[in-house]
Amino acid sequence: MSYHIVTTDDEAAIRKVLGIMLTRAGYEVSTCSQGAELLALLAQRPVDLILLDIKMPKINGLDLLVQIKREWPHIPVIMVTAFGDLETGIKAMRLGASDYLTKPVGQQLLLKTVDEVLHNTSGPQMHQTEQQLSEALSTLRDVRMGTLEAFSETLAQKDTYTKIHSLRVRDLAVAIGKAMKMSQDSLDTLAGGALLHDIGKIGIPEEILNKPTSLTAEEYEMVKTHPEIGVRIASHLSQLDPFLPIITSHHERLDGTGYPHGLSAAQIPMEVRIISLADAFEAMTAQRPYRDALPIEFALEELKANSGTQFDPRLVDLFIEEELFHL
């Protein structure tokens, strides 16, 4: 019996590779680049298995999965996505996916998984796979946290204040996220982004970072390069991708006068806005080489004064109403 398998991915090269591997194994293969194309194909002819990419254009993979399971519940679906998206993979399993593969997909694992799903889609197998995914996600988080701590320690060797500052920003940012009832994934992004937001200061001379007096205009311009330096450092590790927006944009302002890119309003993600507020409040209330810590009351007035221009007004109100500044 020849099974008909559909592969979906918005990247033509990946569709082609998967198609070649499956065709050589004796399967009939169709390929789709987006959700509407897949749904049209399912309505036209029988399909035995779908390899569904989570990050699809227009209609994402999870929404497609829900629709497929509603209209064609007998067709097993294997989700395919990047390694760093394991938590989404677990969600897909709970929505009815039979299994989960991570890119790049090797031929041996691909054919083994396809064969197992075509011949065994029972509940116990799916439960076992979900448990394996949960364990993999836990391992990924441990590896990521170890990387973050290593970066933090590296920076501490150059500037002890920055490490202490980053830990304090993390606590404040996560507290804000919890008050907003954000998901655990978003809280993890806040925690990791806070630890890494100033990692680019590794590239700033120590005599500037630890200067006991105010910076000159030239020195300040040099300090302002730390977000872009941080992105260059962190972008070498794909597991740190979720933190890149925080690293590069934590000095942007709602009114567009921040740096390095002059982003404004809706261009600034919520996680970045949270880190920006926590970063500014901690910096004001911490002891610095060139000045004493400012009173909390003064810092709160500064947040209010810059609400709507530098900071998100909703976050300022929440921060004060929930008295998160006492942390």
In one letter, which amino acid is 181? K
Tell me the C-alpha distance between 271 and 59, whole Å. Answer: 24
pLDDT at position 145 is: 62
102-111, 116-125, 139-148, 279-288: which range is least confident on average?
Answer: 139-148
pLDDT digits (tens, 9 = 90+) for 149-159: 666 666 666 66
Q: What is the DSSP letter of 291?
A: B
Give me the long-range contacts of 57-63 (CB less than 8 A, separation at least 24). 57/10, 57/33, 58/34, 59/34, 59/35, 60/35, 61/8, 61/92, 62/88, 62/91, 62/92, 62/95, 63/35
pLDDT digits (tens, 9 = 90+) for 277-304: 999 999 999 987 778 899 999 999 999 9
Question: Percent of the chain, pLDDT > 70?
Answer: 85
The full set of domains in the chain, from first to last, is: 4-121 (3.40.50.2300), 146-326 (1.10.3210.10)
**CA angle centred on 321, ends 318 and 323, rounded to 5°:** 100
Establish whether 178 is a catalytic residue.
Answer: no
Q: Is the pLDDT of residue 122 over 50?
A: no
Produce one character per residue of 291-308: b if its CB has 16 or more CB atoms within 10 Å, e if not: eeebeeeebbebbeebbe
pLDDT at position 224 is: 95
pLDDT digits (tens, 9 = 90+) for 264-277: 999 999 999 999 99
> Phi/psi at 77 (nearest 5 deg)?
-125, 130
Beta bridge partners of 102: 81
Contact 35, 58 (CB under 8 A): yes
Given 91, 112, 181, 201, which residue is catalytic?
A: 201
**pTM (whole model) above 0.75:** no
